[in-house]
Every structure is written in structure tokens, then in C-alpha cells.
Structure 1
């Protein structure tokens, strides 16, 4: 052997020896402190850190932690939390450092106790169940042969000195966690197992291991703080219980949840059962769907509301319910009420069950109830406004009649007839105004009580009818009216013509002096198939502060009837017509060149939906 070979072999031996020394230092159960010539600690093994209850001892003075005791080689260890420990110390000089090996005398056992422990340990070896013991610091101190064999099934190697956390990480890796579990889920499972070990109960727990096997886990804490664990393989028992549980679940599902649609599938979405009703709805053969992913048959795939509801189920919330509008193979839409159910064994998902029921008829009934409620609310609003108007607006002309009648009587009684014609004229005006108010209220009430029979209505024809009725005032005002392309809507043509007439009439009436009145009527698509009918003029405009007040009965912004005659009922009638069509009318407060009213009405699509629903009920 030449010199180079000898040097290399020596270096390898030194490296191997260094690794061995490092392992002995790190895994030694006794605390070891490496102290420099200065008296300060430069290294400490894990046992020392645990003994002194400190995350690190480097840089601390040995004298602050180890105090000589009166009895020879015994010392007193000063823990960081103030506790004192009596230990035996062995000192070795290694190069430039001194190694202090400490032995906690409080843990030493008398000979009698050792013999008792030996007898107990011999008995434990005869037990067929795995026995493992952790000390008060959660380190593995003892286990029997059965536990070694038990660990071998899962590929786990027990070793004295390992922490409980290290052992549980090994168990999770051996099949104690789901195959697709990410680091976050593994950490959650680890913390739960640690928590159960620290606060054990006599209740046993069954958990998976070895990728397909099951074990029963029991933890018992002794008065001294140790934890005794009992482990037993219960795979056959567990499989039998799971089979029985599935049978019981099948029976309960079929008996208690008789539905229109039933689908069962594995956690990954593989269909295991589908009934004929659901297969017929989507025009599929039930047999051909078995073993296929259910996502392939859902409209939204992985994003479908049904699949999303199922994947959110947990042991704490194993059932969810939601409604979904589905389209069948024949193109007909149906509202389905889904009950999504997940079956769990402990925290492990077994299967999904989706139960769907057709509630289309119930939805139509709810829609009718909502429509009737809206209609009733409109009638109540009309009644409320009518009552308020009777108590205020109708009393005004009556007060005039009463006042001028009394004045007329007083003058006649005095023989003064000069003012009687004037009083009589005021009486006639008050009566005429009251007649106009009463006529307006009757017209308003008739519209409020009218139930609309929906039909196709041409908005252009409704506008043209309004223009014919307003031909004279439009001619007198020399108003210019521009009409864009107007679509068809669903409603009552006579009422819509009246709505257009009231808005156009206001545009002509409230024009600017010495300015040619211009009115533009056009439309644009609205939300959900609705239509927006827009009236835009260059008149005097409306203060945005009164955007809602102008639709109240008899509300007038201009009191001078000689300049702007009327009762203040026009826009209230227009609003009532819009609401009777389940639409709205609004003042566009952003428009500043005059007034712009936007009327939103149902488009033809709403009529088509209602016809389809009526046919489905028939």
C-alpha cells in the first residue's frame, strides 16, 4: 500500500469516527456540555437543552448553570426556570475543550425498583398488543416486541429517545394520512394526534396506517406524567364495520330520502349508482355511466354548483342543500333541489350521494305569490296615497267653497250684492278643481287595481297613439319630436300609450320660453332581457332633489296653474302604469340639459318564459 492510499484510508477512518462521535453526542440521553478554556459553554446536546429548559446554552458561563455540591462528584444543576436538579458529573479533557457529562440522580432507581421494572417488562413482552411508553418529556423510552412487529407492518422503526412528534410523523408517512394530503393537512393531523396524546382519554380511536390497514389507538397518562400507548391491528374488524355501515347508509338513504334523482359516487367522482330518473333527464344509459366521472355529465364540470357543494362537505357538515336550474336533454329547464350528502368514517370520506327533486312547479307558485304580493303592495301604496290626498288636496277646494260661501252669505245678509259675482266665480273655480282632482284620482285608482293581461306590444304604436292624443298642444308649442327605433315589449298597449302621453305632455308643457321644444324618444337593452324606453327633452328640467317626490300623487313643483296648469297626477299615473307592468320609471339625475325619464319594461323573453312554464304545468 503506498503513502497516498494510506493517507486516504486514514482520512476516511477519521471521518467515520467523527460521525460516530457526533451521533453519540447528539443521541446520548445524558446532558453533555462542551466548555472552552474560558469557562463558557460552546456546545450542548439536545438532552442538555431539555434538562436546563433552554433553547440554547452557547455563550453561557458554566458556573451559572452547574454548582458544586458537598458530596464529591455531585453537582447542582440550575435550570433556567429556577428549578434545581442533583446530578453526578464526569469531566474529560478533549483537546482544548472540557466535556462535562451529567447524570440526573433524581431519575436513578433503587435495585428493588429495577427488579420490579424487569418483572413488569417481562410481562409486557407476553402481551399481543403493541405497548409503547413515552416519558414526561414525550420521548420514547420503552416498547414491547409486539409493538416492534406492529411498526414493521407500517414500515416504522421505533427507537429509544425519539420524540412523540417524530414517531407520529413516521406513522402519517406510512399511510396514516390520505395519499393526496398536502403539507397543510398533514400538519393538522399531526397536531391533532399530539393534542390527543397530551390529553388522553380512555376512549379508543381507530385510525388508518400502512396504506389500507387500520389500528386501534389508546393512550393512558400515568400520575408521573408518562403516556402508555396501546396499539392493535383491527383491519378485519374495521372492514366488517364499514361494510355494515355502508349497508345501513344505503337503507337509510333509499327509505328516508325517496327522490326524483339519485346519484352515488366515490370521493374522486366515479359514479357507482345512478337511478333511471336522472339518467332519463340527461338522456343517458345508466349502465354506461357507471365507473365514469360524474363531472363529465355535469354542465359546469369541476365548477358545477353540485360538485362544488359536494367537495365542501366535511364531517362537521356532511349535508348541504341548494337549488339549481338545469336544462334537460329535451331543452326544457327545471329547478332541482339538491341534497348533497357525504359519508365519512371518522375523518375519512367514503362516498358522496346526491339527491335531486324537481321543484319547478313550486318555483312557479312562489313566483305567482311574489307577483300577487307586489300587486297587493302597489294597491296598498295607492290606498295610502289616496287617503293622504283626500285629507289634504281635496280639502283645499272644499275650504275655498266654505270660505267664499260664508263671505257670500255675510254680504247678502248685509244687503251688499256687489261682491257676490266674484265670490260665485271663485266657487265655480274651486268646484272645477275638485272635479278635476276627483277624476284624476278615479283614473289613478283604476290603473292601480287593473291586472295586466300580458301581450306583445309595439312601443312605436304606443308612442304614435300618444302623439295623436297630444297633436294640438304639440302643434301649439311647435315642438320637434325625434323617434328612434323602438322594440316590442310585454304589456298593455292602452296603458303604455297613456304612460307615453303623460311623459310627452310634460315635456311639451314644461318647455323653456323662446326655445324650440325638442323631445327625443329612443330605447336601449336593459338587464335580464328588459327594455329601457327613454324620453329626453330640452325643457326647464327637474331639480335632482325632487327625483322621487315628483312621482307622488298631486305633487307639483310649480304652483302657478296659470303658467303650468294641471293636477300633478301625470307622473304618478306613469309610475303606476310602469309598476303594473312590473317595471320602473326613473328620473336620470345626471342629465342636465332638460329632463330625461327612463322607463324599464319587460322584454319579449319574459312572455316566452311564462308560456313555457304554463305548458309544462299543463
Structure 2
């Protein structure tokens, strides 16, 4: 069973995690959702009737918002701003307030709806991020190693002061945004690299090789930046194609003969935890100061431990699986996440980069350990928010899409994909216009091209066809996002309005039926007041004359007067019977079905067989087509037209009636024409009125003048029409049109 949009909206209103308040024109709270009760601490009874201004922490914010929104009769755009709100207990929380007006169907604003989003967690996350950035920048500036990161376009993203100090001759070019090549070339031109040679050719060759080393980094290498200063250069490429470089001053180390002593001095000063462990017995050989300080063990204590003893994040089998590729030599480097336990029992989440040293005398591994507790918490919070948002969007009954300005889809929710009959992945990358019926595409193109920075949001209605062939009407709200006046993204939300349109159609149909009935009542009142009263007046007149003659003893005119009374009574009886027939057929409930035009024409002619035979009438019918109509009513229409053609024929000339028809995409057109006496064009509308007769001599042309009125009612009951063709020069021609 499909829920209605109203039920969906109510469910969304009740379950939305953010507070929602509806406020009337006097700023009094009308209603709130459960989230508002929980967030502000007021009961529903306390909320209702409360002045909304009392929820603002700042009276100035309350006044500013009120000046924009009120009075509601003034036009105003929705409010979207950040401010502080106050709970019942007096505590204040930062929030993002969005206020829109609620309008009646006539467009009159009568209330406003406020959506409150608590920003406390976001602000705390931002503070934590800023604190982390501050710590990172402080840490980078405190270490003696030079540190630099270049992005995937090889532009400098960040570096520390030590990096600029190391390359002092290149310092003017070491600016964020400059490329690695431009920095190296500037230093080369100012004598930063003595190993580059003295000739332009040698320097260009050195520059080419240095850029290749930077693009495809390998093992660390030694670089001379002056005759008496040497740097150890280590560069790595991240998964995002960033280049991370560390410059360590090894001038003093170059004088030390022992490679072990050189390695020890390098890792001791690094802020990251570094461990050297034996792959033979699994014991720690060495650990730098950062590792000792974080784990709270001395170097002697660590040498007696295996990393397995302070690892609490992986089981024994998982540890064996992790280090197996390193032990076998299948992999030189392996990165994994785990938990380490300090000496005091506390734990922290960390990321371990395990690398086997190929040139060591015995199998050893170097481990770089990074504490990622804070980063993981932030990532998890973001994932939870993203999951909540995705769940909300996917469960909304509306269609939601995001696209490039050229309508190339970048996101669609499951509801829209399910309606189209494709998967989400199949729709991504295709044009939004591909899923719009061809007949509506140009209209949509014009609609989208009209979106501007001044009016970025507009709505439109479109009929979409689902895989089952059903046509469903949707109202689309299209928002074009602009950046510096240029469109960057199209966000669209489609809502099913089929029931609304059906209701509008029913109301229009009922209004039209009511209009027809009101028209009939007006005609009936005219008939009662005039046409039906006329015979009564004549009957009363002759009755009075009879009474006078009887009183005077005169009897010679009584037979004539009684004949007039009888004749007027018969006329009135025919009028009443005709009016009864009209009332029974004019508003008879139609039962349309697909029939052949010949079925109705033949039935009508058979009903008039005796009249046609007496008048020598002939019917010519040579265009049989299919029509959607009520067979009984359509037969009555043709019977009335044929009867008129037979009645109003030329004296001494047989009636010839011709029926033709044609069908096209707009509907069916039926023409009924004869060779009779014709109708004055000036009477083309009057002849369709009830009891409207152009020939008052009933002895020559009998009838009540209701036949054509009935024909018009039957045509209108089929949403069609019947008119007299005034261009017909001989005889009479009626044109009947019925919709497709």
C-alpha cells in the first residue's frame, strides 16, 4: 500500500531529529515536533501559545528575525542564519535556523515553520580540527627536520620553517602554490645546489634528473645544499598522488662511520614513534624517544618486550597474517591499524607502517607508528552524519537528484531510480533530460535556462511515465547553485502531485456539471414562466368566454371555444412530455465505450423507418469510424437530426441525408447534412434552446422545439459540441465534434 504524501510528511515531521516549530502571525507557537520538545525541554502544553521570541538567547537576534518575517503579509525570502537559542533550563546552544512561510492555496501567508539544527557537535568538531591543525603546525615548526608536501599538481601545500631555513637561498620561491620545478629552478639560479655543475647544460641535466626523482621517488638519497652542509632527502607518494618530503640534516652523521649510529641519531629526533624489531625472535631492538615517551617504558624495558605484548587490537592469528608477507619477503611494506596499550594500562588507536630493511645483516623491520585516535573519532562522526543524511534522503517519498549544469546526473536517490526502472549506477553520468518525455524536454530546457543568481529556484510540473506505462504528474523544484555568477550544480526535488491534479480535474468537472445544471434551471424557469403559461392563459381565456356565453344564454360558439381548449391542452401535454424526455436524457449518466459510428447511425435510421418510408427519405453514409461514446445517447442525437431533416424537407422533393466522419489526434468530427429548407444563419444559436421553434404553424411543421436542445446536451455530456454550419448554402448542415 502506497502512503500519501501527507502521511509521509507527517512521519518525517514526527521522526525528524531536528526541532521543527510552527509559529502563527503573532509569533505564538502553534505546534512542535518531538525533537523540539526534547531539545528545548518544554512540554507540548508549555510550547503551545508561547512567544517564539523567548527562545532566542539574544533579544537582538529575535528582533532581527521578527523584522524580516513579520508582518506575514509582507513578501520576504526564507531566513537562513546562525544564532544562539535558549533552553528551558537557561542553557544556550548554537544553532542554524531556517524559517519559511506557510501559505494557503491562494498564496496568503498565515504562519511560519522553523527548522532548528543544533551546531554544538559541529562547532566542537571544528574546534578539535583547529586544535589538531594548531598542534600539527606547532609540531612541524618544532622539529628540526625540513618537511614539505606537494599536491597532485605538484604545487606546494605546506612546509615548516626548518624546510625554508635549509633551503635559505631558495626561500623567496618557497611559497604555497608554487610548483616544485619553479622552486628548484629558482634555487638552481641562485647557487643552492653545488652538485648541479657550472654550465647551463649540466644544470639542466641535473634539474631533469632531480624532477624525475621527485616524480618517482625511491630510496632516500643524500643532497648537498652547500659545500659544508648535507641533507638526507626522503620522498614518498601518497594514495592521493601527493608528494611528501622530509629533509634531515646529516652533516654531522656523515662524519660518523657506523651506519647503525647514523640510523639511531636520525630516528631519535623524529616526533613519530619509530621501532626497530628483529624478525627472528620478534623482540624490539631499538625505539626512539617518541615511542618511549608514549608507551611509558624505558629503552631497557622495551628491549625485553615483543610488539605482540603491548598490541591489544589484533589477535595472535591476525598478527601472524599481517607480518607473514614481510617475513616471506613477498612484501617490503605493510600498513595496518591496531591498538597499543601503555604501561599504565591506557590504550590508543594507531596506524603502523611496517617496512623490512633489505640491507640489514639479519632480518629486521622498521615500524613507524602514528596515534590516530582523534582522527578516527572525527571520521566516525562524519560517517554517522553522512549515514543519517543518506538514510533520510533515501527514505523520502520525493525524487532527489544532483546534476551538473548541463543536467549530467551526479546523484539520484533510490525512489527516482526505482521509478525510472534503472539502478542508481546506471543513471549516474546520464543526462537528466534523458528521463523526461520528449514532448516536455524543450519546455524544461527553457525553464532551466531561466534560472539565474537572482532567481535560482523555480518549480515546474511534468508528466512522467513509469515502466508500467502509467502517466504520473510530478512537481519539480529546481535549484541552480551559482559560484561567482556561474552555474555549478543543479539540485532537483520531484513530488508526486497526481492526486492533487485528479482532485482539481474532478472539481473542474463538477463545476462544469453544476454550470450546465444552473443553465438548465434558468431555461426551465423561463419555460415555466412563459412557454407553459401561454397555453394556460389561452385555456383560461376560452373558459371565461364559455362562462360569459352560457351566462348570456348564447350557445352557438361553445363548440368552437371547447375545441380551442382541447387543442391548447394537447399542445401543453406535448410540451410537458417533451420536457420530461429532455430531463431524462439531458443529464443521463453516460457510459462511454468504443463503438462504430455505423452502429449509432443505423439504429437511429431504423427507429425512423416508417417516417423515412412515408417521406421517401434516403440516407447516405460512407465513412465508418470508431468513436468513444454512449451508444444510446449518440443514437438519440442522430435520430433527432434525421427526424428534423425528414420533417423540414423541400415540398415535392424527397429528403436526402448524408453522414460523413473523420478522426484525427484531436478527436472525431461528424457532419450531418440534408437538402431541406435550411435555417436562417441569424438563428444558429436560438435553434438549440428549449421549445425554440422557427415555424409557428404546427399544422405545417409539428413539434415542440426540444430536439436540437437535446442534441446539444448529449454532445456536451461527451465533452463535445454541435453547431450549425452557417456557410451551407442549400439545405442544413450540422457539425458534431467529440474529443479523442
TM-score (ref. length: structure 1) = 0.54
Question: Against the structure 1 CA distance between its residues 560 and 305, is the aligned structure 2 distance closer, same or farther, given a 3 Å change threshold?
Answer: same
1:87-132 CA distance string (max 9 Å, x none): xxxxxxxxxxxxxxxxxxxxxxxxxxxxxxxxxxxxxxxxxxxxxx
**C-alpha distance in 1 between matches for 2:705 and 2:604:** 19
Aligned Cα RMSD in Å?
3.0
**C-alpha distance in 2 between matches for 1:581 and 1:403:** 44
- Say if 2:518 is the partner of 1:380: yes
1:179-238 CA distance string (max 9 Å, x none): xxxxxxxxxxxxxxxxxxxxxxxxxxxxxxxxxxxxxxxxxxxxxxxxxxxxxxxxxxxx
Residue in structure 2 matched with residue 477 of structure 1 by the alignment: 615
**C-alpha distance in 2 between matches for 1:467 and 1:446:** 22
Q: Among 675, 679, 695, which residue is 1:558 paired with?
A: 695
Residue in structure 2 matched with residue 539 of structure 1 by the alignment: 676
Shift in Å, 1:579: 1.4
Q: Among 574, 589, 602, which residue is 1:451 paired with?
A: 589
Q: Among 575, 582, 593, which residue is 2:712 paired with?
A: 575
1:377-418 CA distance string (max 9 Å, x none): 221111111111111101110111011111111111111101
Shift in Å, 1:368: 2.3
1:492-548 CA distance string (max 9 Å, x none): 2222211111100111111112223110012111552x2222211111111222111
- Say if 2:732 is the partner of 1:601: no
**C-alpha distance in 1 between matches for 2:664 and 2:535:** 43
Shift in Å, 1:488: 3.3
**C-alpha distance in 1 between matches for 2:630 and 2:436:** 41
Alignment of 1:120-199 (within 5 A): none
Alignment of 1:176-575 (within 5 A): 258=396, 260-300=398-438, 303-528=441-666, 530-575=667-712
**C-alpha distance in 1 between matches for 2:735 and 2:664:** 11
**Contact kept in structure 2, 1:511 and 1:517, CA below 8 Å:** yes
**Contact kept in structure 2, 1:578 and 1:584, CA below 8 Å:** yes
**C-alpha distance in 1 between matches for 2:486 and 2:529:** 71
Question: Against the structure 1 CA distance between its residues 328 and 451, is the aligned structure 2 distance closer, same or farther, given a 3 Å change threshold?
Answer: same
- Say if 2:590 is the partner of 1:590: no
**C-alpha distance in 1 between matches for 2:436 and 2:593:** 36
Question: Against the structure 1 CA distance between its residues 301 and 393, is the aligned structure 2 distance closer, same or farther, given a 3 Å change threshold?
Answer: closer
Residue in structure 2 matched with residue 138 of structure 1 by the alignment: none
1:291-325 CA distance string (max 9 Å, x none): 34334444449944334322210122211111112
Alignment of 1:3-14 (within 5 A): none
Question: Against the structure 1 CA distance between its residues 425 and 515, is the aligned structure 2 distance closer, same or farther, given a 3 Å change threshold?
Answer: same
**Contact kept in structure 2, 1:269 and 1:295, CA below 8 Å:** yes
Shift in Å, 1:258: 4.9
Shift in Å, 1:485: 3.0
Gaps of 5+ in 1: 1-148, 153-246, 604-618
**Contact kept in structure 2, 1:477 and 1:517, CA below 8 Å:** yes
**C-alpha distance in 2 between matches for 1:478 and 1:288:** 72
**C-alpha distance in 2 between matches for 1:371 and 1:301:** 26
Question: Against the structure 1 CA distance between its residues 273 and 553, is the aligned structure 2 distance closer, same or farther, given a 3 Å change threshold?
Answer: same
**C-alpha distance in 1 between matches for 2:690 and 2:439:** 53
Question: Against the structure 1 CA distance between its residues 456 and 300, is the aligned structure 2 distance closer, same or farther, given a 3 Å change threshold?
Answer: closer
**C-alpha distance in 1 between matches for 2:434 and 2:634:** 48
Shift in Å, 1:339: 1.2
**C-alpha distance in 2 between matches for 1:484 and 1:302:** 39
**C-alpha distance in 2 between matches for 1:462 and 1:450:** 17
**C-alpha distance in 2 between matches for 1:527 and 1:395:** 48
**C-alpha distance in 2 between matches for 1:292 and 1:481:** 60
1:251-280 CA distance string (max 9 Å, x none): 89x78x955211111223332211112222
**C-alpha distance in 2 between matches for 1:272 and 1:414:** 105
**C-alpha distance in 2 between matches for 1:259 and 1:305:** 25
**Contact kept in structure 2, 1:260 and 1:355, CA below 8 Å:** yes
1:331-372 CA distance string (max 9 Å, x none): 222212111111224523231111112222332232222222
**C-alpha distance in 1 between matches for 2:426 and 2:440:** 20
**C-alpha distance in 1 between matches for 2:734 and 2:407:** 53
1:55-105 CA distance string (max 9 Å, x none): xxxxxxxxxxxxxxxxxxxxxxxxxxxxxxxxxxxxxxxxxxxxxxxxxxx
Question: Against the structure 1 CA distance between its residues 411 and 526, is the aligned structure 2 distance closer, same or farther, given a 3 Å change threshold?
Answer: farther
Question: Against the structure 1 CA distance between its residues 527 and 412, is the aligned structure 2 distance closer, same or farther, given a 3 Å change threshold?
Answer: farther
TM-score (ref. length: structure 2) = 0.46
**C-alpha distance in 1 between matches for 2:719 and 2:439:** 36
Shift in Å, 1:570: 0.7
